[in-house]
């Protein structure tokens, strides 16, 4: 990919050139020397790295955070303030823990700063908020490390919305009318118990207990006696004629089927033997 010379010249105006005599690197985000206020790249912006001849500002000479002589706590000091004034302001503010009631006043001030959103709301975290993260559940301000609900033990406000979001247990109250209908439906499904009858069960006559075969034999004997009295020869009982006729018809049908298969040459040796036996029996 070729770069247009015009666009390359336009990019030179962005940033600045390092003033180090051996560098001259064009940096798009140059650093400024606090002493001579010239632009340098990152490796050369400190006064000791580019042999700076300008005097250092007073804020950079022996700048040490002052310490409170009572509570041994480091007191924050702006660049243009005197360390003694910062320590005096710290003691007179009443938040020094070495003073009586100082710890309570410090906690109250910290609580006030947390409510204003200047300090992380999580308990035990006193980070000053540069980038504020608001929790959508509780609405408090947190640092990036404690912005999640699980990181700060989020407790949503107990308003109407939270109560409506929480499912309430259902209290079941039986309806007397529905119980009556349910019992009647179940009673219709179950078999009705039969009440024991006070009347004695009539005894079965001996004639009904006689097997059917015995009854048929008796009728056949009576019919044979009637034919004999009429002078006719009776070879078989009258009752058995239908059974014999059905057996004869089945035998004829079987013989006819075997003959048909014999004519077509489909009989097996076993079927041929069976056909001869049936013809002999007929």
Q: Are strands 31-32 and 26-27 parallel, antiparallel or unpaired?
A: unpaired
Query: 15: left (phi > 0), else alpha (psi -120 to 50), else beta?
Result: left
What are 95's two structure tokens?
A: 């938040």
Q: Domain ranges in the chain? A: 10-60, 65-116, 120-155, 236-282
Which of 86-95, 139-148, 185-194 is predicted most confidently?
139-148
CB atoms within 10 A of CB 95: 20
What pLDDT, on the 0 to 100 scale, is given for residue 211? Answer: 55
What pLDDT, on the 0 to 100 scale, is given for residue 177? Answer: 53
Q: Which of 113-127, 183-197, 244-258, 265-279 has the lowest mean pLDDT?
A: 183-197
What's the rounded Cα separation, in Å, for the pair 43 and 50?
9
What pLDDT, on the 0 to 100 scale, is given for residue 207? Answer: 47
Q: Sorting pLDDT into bands at 50, 70 and 90, what band is 41?
A: very high
128, β-bridge pairs: 119
- Burial bucket for residue 228 (CB in 10 Å: 0-12, 13-18, 19+): exposed
Q: Per-residue pLDDT tens for 90-106?
A: 888 888 887 788 788 88
Predicted confidence (pLDDT) at residue 160 exceeds the cutoff of 60: no
Nearest to 71 by CA among 46, 42, 94, 39: 94
Nearest to 32 by CA among 22, 10, 17, 21: 17
């Amino acid at each position: 990919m070729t770069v247009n010379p015009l666009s390359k010249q336009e990019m030179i105006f962005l940033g600045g050139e390092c003033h180090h005599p051996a560098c001259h690197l064009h940096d798009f985000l140059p650093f400024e020397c606090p002493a001579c206020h010239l632009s340098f790249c990152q490796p050369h912006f400190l006064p000791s790295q580019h042999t700076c001849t300008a005097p250092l500002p007073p804020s950079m000479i022996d700048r040490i955070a002052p310490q409170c002589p009572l509570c041994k706590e480091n007191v924050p000091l702006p660049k243009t303030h005197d360390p003694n004034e910062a320590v005096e302001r710290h003691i007179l503010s009443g938040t020094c823990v070495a003073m009586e009631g100082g710890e309570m006043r410090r906690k109250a001030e910290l609580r006030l700063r947390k409510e204003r959103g200047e300090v992380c709301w999580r308990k035990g975290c006193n980070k000053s908020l540069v980038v504020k993260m608001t929790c959508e559940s509780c609405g408090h301000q947190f640092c990036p490390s404690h912005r999640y609900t699980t990181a700060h033990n989020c407790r949503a406000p107990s308003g109407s919305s939270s109560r409506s979001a929480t499912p309430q247990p259902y209290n079941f109250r039986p309806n007397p009318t529905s119980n009556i209908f349910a019992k009647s439906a179940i009673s219709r499904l179950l078999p009705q118990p039969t009440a024991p009858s006070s009347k004695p069960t009539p005894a079965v006559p001996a004639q009904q207990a006689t097997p059917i075969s015995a009854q048929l034999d008796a009728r056949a004997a009576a019919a044979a006696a009637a034919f004999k009295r009429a002078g006719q020869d009776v070879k078989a009982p009258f009752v058995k004629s239908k059974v014999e006729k059905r057996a004869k018809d089945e035998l004829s049908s079987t013989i006819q089927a075997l003959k048909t298969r014999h004519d077509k040459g489909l009989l097996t040796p076993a079927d041929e033997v069976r056909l001869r036996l049936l013809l002999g029996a007929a």
